[in-house]
Amino acid sequence: MPIQPAGSSAFRARRKLSASILIGMLCPGLGAAADDSSASMFSLHGFGTLGVVHTDEQYADFVGNAFQPDGAGYTRAWAPGVDSLLGLQLNMQATSQLLAVVQVVSQHRYNGSWTPEVEWANLKFQFTPELSIRAGRFVAMPFLVSDTRLVAYTYTWIRPPIELYGMLPVTNMDGVDANYRLHTGAVAHSLRVAYGQTDLNFPTGGELKARHFIQASDAMEYGSFTVRVGYTSLRIKTDIPGYEALFSGFEEFGAAASDSGFPAIGAQAAALGADYESQAASTYSYSMATIGASYDPGNWLLMSEWAKAVSGAFLADATGWYLMGGYRFSQLTPYLTVGQVEARKKIEPGISSAGLTPPLAQAAAMLNGGLAAVLTAFAPSQSSVSAGIRWDLVKDIDLKLQYDRVRVDSGSSGRLQNVQPGFRPQDQVNVFSLAMDFVF
Binding stretches for another protein (CB under 8 A): 43, 45, 47, 87, 89, 91, 93, 99, 101, 103, 120, 122, 124, 129, 134, 138-139, 147-148, 150-151, 153-155, 181, 188, 221, 223, 297-299, 328, 330-331, 392-396, 398, 439
* CB of residue 151 to another protein, shortest distance in Å: 5
- Of 151 and 364, the one with the shorter C-beta distance to another protein is 151
- Under 8 Å between Cβ of 397 and 357: no
Kindly state the smallest distance separating residue 149's Cβ from another protein, in Å: 10
Are the beta carbons of 7 and 14 closer than 8 angstroms? no
Q: Which CB atom, from 126 or from 279, has the smaller least distance to another protein?
A: 126
Q: How far is the CB of 160 from another protein (least distance, A)?
A: 13
- Looking at the Cβ atoms of 87 and 273, the one nearer to another protein is 87
Q: Smallest distance from the beta carbon of 153 to another protein, in angstroms?
A: 6
Distance (Å) of CA 302 to CA 72, 219, 224, 291: 29, 16, 10, 14
Cβ-Cβ contacts under 8 Å for 217 (sequence gap 6 or more): 141, 191, 192, 228, 229, 230, 231
**Smaller CB separation from another protein, 12 or 183:** 183
CB of 331 to another protein, least distance (A): 5
Query: Residue 236, Cβ neighbours under 10 Å: how many?
Result: 20
Report the C-alpha gap between 330 and 327 in whole angstroms.
9
Q: C-beta of 229: minimal distance to another protein in Å? A: 19
Q: Please enumerate in sequence order all residues whose Cβ is within 8 A of that of 292, keeping only pairs 6 or more positions apart, or say none.
A: 143, 144, 227, 228, 230, 303, 304, 305, 306
| CA–CA distance, 104 with 275 (Å, rounded to integer) | 42
Of the pair 220, 256, the CB lying nearest another protein is at 220
Nearest to another protein of 150, 379 (CB atom): 150
| Least CB distance to another protein at residue 124 (A) | 6
Toward another protein, which CB reaches closer, 147 or 207? 147
